[in-house]
Amino acid sequence: MQCESRLTLDASAAEYVVDVANVVREPGLGGDRPADLARLEGLLDALAAFTRDPTVQVYAITDRSLLADGRLTAGERERLDRWYRDGLLEVLPRADDRILELADALELRVVSADNFLDFHRAYPWIPGTRHRFLRPFLEPDGRIGVRPRIMPVPPEWQVSRKEEEGILLEAGVLRRWAPSAHRAVLSRDWRCPEADCPLFGAGERPGTALPRRHKDRVVCPTHGLQLTDTGPLPRRAQVKVVMDGTVRGRFMVTAGRPLAVGRAPADGGVALGAWVNSASVDSVSRTHVVLSYDGKGLTVVDERSANGTRIRHSRPTGEELLPLHHGTVWRLRTGDSVMLHDRLELLPSGRQFVFEEDTTDGTVGPQAGAVAAPTMLSVPLDIRPEDLPDGGRDEPGYEQA
């Protein structure tokens, strides 16, 4: 049966919503090319077999970038464009949010290998669900099959990282097939020719806004004018203040500038009472810990706090709490947090570039409700598992001071 007969944008007729770009660009589904439209055809046959319905109807959605993907043949791109013009394919700048909107509103099952980590807060039913998603896979005989999948329940840092990536993709700064290209843009300070530009003007600015990239130019999203590079931005890491599992606030640690954190630290440190009520910081010392950032990772040292500090350390077998002895430096790895007491912890963000005010409230963990949208403030943060010692493996991170 022709592929087109199974495509519909009639939401009332569709039984599944298909993430077309995810399928077409998945080499694990067979073929020698990085992008191949035949994978979508194979998937539709697999859905027909899975449902035992040769006329199964799917709602197909793709990112706009797929229609211009040079890894497809000219004929494949023309076919996608024809489906779009004929009302068989929905084409959007970014498809993920639309896919989940349809799944949520119409209870359609989603066919994709994507974990949709950046939407776990907006759609708290995603993590752990066993019935709403199908994953395509390659059968031993070379055909494509589908099977139900259990969606992962990710740690907080992975959710933050994917939320960040979604912002960068929407702004055109990040490109999936050139994931490192955005670093040159986001590590620089940009200035708009319009002096009164609220994002990149000469006046006082709340932070460095997220620019847009148009082909080889970096442009102002407000005025569409090419921006001028005025130099590098300082590297900074974001840390979340978490109380009883809820993010109460955020602060930044700048590379080369150790930052004291506690009840009332001196010399411009972070006073936790700004976010946590006084009763909750009674057991926190005036200067409890000092955080440092070297441009790649964070370290923490306990400066003789009265009640001590522990590290919540992630291991493949689960979490463990390790004491942080006075004067000992701990290099934080992905997933680690600093426990000031049983209810209060400092959690490094998973974001490499930060796009939100330090005071935004949210909730840690995938079962939380939606949080406020980012305010598009950008500061470089460069914590990646591959940048951390031992690639972020599970050995303790002690370093002698």
Sign of CA dihedral 340, 239, 272, 153: negative
pLDDT for res 390: 33
Are 138 and 42 contacting, i.e. CB atoms less than 8 angstroms apart? no
Q: How confident is the model at residue 296 (pLDDT cuts 50, 70, 90)?
A: confident
At residue 50, φ and ψ (nearest 5 deg) are -65, -40
Share of the chain above pLDDT 70, in %: 79
Both tokens of residue 65?
Answer: 């970038």
Is the pLDDT confidence value at 359 over 90? no
Domain segments of the chain: what residues? Answer: 3-148, 156-232, 236-399
Question: Do the domains spanning 3-148 and 236-399 agree at the CATH topology level?
Answer: no
CA-closest candidate to residue 145, choices 29, 276, 307: 29
Short-list 362, 331, 332, 328, CA closest to 347: 332
Determine the pLDDT at residue 397: 40
What average pLDDT does the chain have?
79
Both tokens assigned to 319: 């979490």
Q: How far apart are CA 140 and CA 33, in angstroms?
A: 19
* Contact yes or no for 233/380 (Cβ under 8 A): yes
The yes-or-no verdict on residue 380 having pLDDT over 80 is no
Are 118 and 163 contacting, i.e. CB atoms less than 8 angstroms apart? yes
Whether residue 298 contacts residue 253, with contact meaning beta carbons closer than 8 Å, is answered with yes
CATH code matching the domain that covers 236-399, chosen among 3.20.20.220, 3.30.70.20, 3.30.470.20, 2.60.200.20: 2.60.200.20
Q: How many CB atoms lie within 10 A of CB 228?
A: 13
Class of the CATH domain delimited by 3-148: alpha beta
Query: Containing H/E element for 38?
Result: helix 38-51
DSSP classification of residue 383: -
Of 389 and 151, the one with more pLDDT: 151
The whole-number average pLDDT for the span 286-297 is 91
Burial of 107 (0-12, 13-18, 19+ CB in 10 A): exposed
pLDDT digits (tens, 9 = 90+) for 40-96: 999 999 999 998 878 888 999 999 999 999 999 999 999 999 998 888 898 888 888
Per-residue confidence (pLDDT) for residue 10, from 0 to 100? 75
Residue 364 near residue 124 (C-beta atoms within 8 A): no
What does residue 375 show for φ and ψ, rounded to 5 degrees? -95, 10
Between CA 61 and CA 98 the distance in angstroms is 8
What is the greatest pairwise CA distance in the chain?
Answer: 73
Note the pLDDT tens digit of each residue in 9-50: 877 678 899 999 999 999 999 999 999 999 999 999 999 999
Alpha-carbon torsion angle 64, 68, 69, 75, nearest 10: 120
* CA dihedral over 118, 124, 125, 130, signed as positive or negative: positive
The set of residues, in sequence order, having a beta carbon less than 8 Å from that of 386 and lying 6+ positions away, is: 392
Residues whose CB is less than 8 angstroms from the CB of residue 192 and which lie 6 or more positions away in sequence, other chains included: 199, 200, 201, 220, 222, 223, 225, 227, 228
How many angstroms separate the CA atoms of 50 and 144, rounded? 11
Look at residue 301 in the predicted model and tell me its pLDDT: 96
Q: For residues 208 and 190, what is the distance between their CA atoms, to the nearest angstrom?
A: 8
Q: Tell me which H or E stretch contains 298.
A: strand 298-302
Structure-derived torsion over alpha carbons of residues 125, 127, 128, 132, reported in degrees to the nearest 10: 60
Distances in whole angstroms, Cα of residue 151 to Cα of each of 50, 122, 134, 386: 20, 15, 10, 25
Q: Distance (Å, rounded) from C-alpha 160 to C-alpha 80? A: 33
Q: Report pLDDT digits (tens) over 138-181.
A: 999 999 999 999 998 877 777 777 777 776 766 666 655 454 55
- Least confident window among 144-158, 267-281, 320-334: 267-281
